Amino acid sequence: MTSLLDEFFKKSKNNQTDAEIITKGDRSQFDGEIKFKATIHGRVQGVGFRFTTNQLAQELDIRGIVRNESDGTVYVEAVGAEEQIDTFIKRLAQGPSPAAEVDKVDIHFDNSIKDYQRFSQAN
């Protein structure tokens, strides 16, 4: 699938490496769709991270939320098909916004996350 924002995403990726991804929870608990919550650490506020995460989620047919936290991190809850979730997590670690610098992504697979109807950007 070709993204409308591919060029935008690629502009800053030449010199960036993927952030460390730390996973918790049992991914095998899911029969169909995968559900996770994530905390993204680094320079992720004030750089278009939520906007580009929202755009990426819509392109991948991921449902959930993205919001800024008071400690400077970004919080994500996401629900979607396994392949799309894997792509989404990888792109979160790369920083979907060219201005973002992601240091670490904490992923917690959690079946108690609600079934969202769409993806939205909070605060």
- The CATH number of the structural domain formed by 17-119 is 3.30.70.100
Residue 6, pLDDT score: 57
For the cut 60, the answer to whether the pLDDT of residue 65 exceeds it is: yes
pLDDT higher than 50, residue 82:
yes
Catalytic center residues: 50, 68
Helix axes 49-59 and 82-94, enclosed angle (nearest 10): 160
pTM: 0.85
